[in-house]
Amino acid sequence: MERDWETYPGEVSDSEVDLRDSNDDELYYSSASLPRSNLSKARWNRATGMAHVVEQKGKMWITTGIIRAGINYCSLEETLYLVEIGALILMDDKDSCISLEDLYMKVAEEKDGCCWERFCAYKHLKSLGYIVGQHGVPWSVKDVTSTTEIEDVTAKMVANLQFDEMRPVFDVYLPNSKFRKSAPGDPAFVVCLSRSNPPSRLKLETLERQYGIPMKICHVDHGHASFFSFDKVDLPVLP
């Protein structure tokens, strides 16, 4: 049985998520209401395909980005989301601001492990208050002193854009005021992206057995992200 997860029973719905009680206060940022001195700053690193956060403001960083050797790195979808809501100033290696248009072009080029579907899925989940991480990528790793490991993270995200193989792209956690990157626990579910029809139930069941976590399929149409899952239903036997 196919279900549209946007009204999926048993999960946190739009009306049930109280963002004021979550870790992330990024949805209350506004580029028009906050002075630039109160905004976080990051520098885009072409080699790694990620943003290196150089100045953190607000609690949003508790659940955003991955930490390597004490430095917070953001993926392209995370970076674009924060710039869109006016919570982050992104600079290049010459300290010039990178515009939204430039970031949209990066996404359109489907480089650095991101694409429109991935960004739309991430944006939708974050807007509902969920905590979203890169699937299979640890939130925090100690004693990393080079950019090699960060480049490997980007390479993994690029590999996960092979939609036909239905690879998980996001680990998703319910809103949790006690969330810590050093001990995130198990995600509530993982998300796969689909550019065509949803996979067969057999394929989905195989993936769930492989990863041991409930899975959702995300399909994006004209910027609208829809999430689906499949359940077994026992029909009553008619007399």
Domain boundaries, the chain: 2-230
d(CA 92, CA 95): 5
pLDDT (tens digit per residue) in 176-198: 999 999 999 999 999 998 877 66
Q: What is the mean pLDDT of the chain?
A: 82
d(CA 215, CA 43): 34
| Residue pair 132/158 in contact by the 8 Å Cβ criterion | no
pLDDT (tens digit per residue) in 32-55: 445 677 899 999 999 889 999 999
Angle at 183 between CA 61 and CA 157, to 5 degrees: 65
**How many beta carbons lie within 10 A of that of residue 72, not counting itself?**
20
**Banded model confidence at residue 166, pLDDT cuts 50, 70, 90:** confident
* Predicted pLDDT of residue 164: 60
What does the DSSP 8-state code read for residue 31? T
* Predicted pLDDT of residue 145: 57
Fold classification of 2-230 is Trna Endonuclease; Chain: A, domain 1 (3.40.1350)
Question: Torsion over CA of 25, 29, 33 and 34, rounded to 10 degrees?
Answer: 80
pLDDT (tens digit per residue) in 64-108: 999 998 899 999 999 999 999 999 999 999 999 999 999 999 999
The sheet with strand 40-45 has its strands ordered as 88-91, 40-45, 50-55, 71-74, 66-68, 140-141
* Predicted pLDDT of residue 26: 43
- The answer to whether residue 23 scores a pLDDT higher than 60 is no
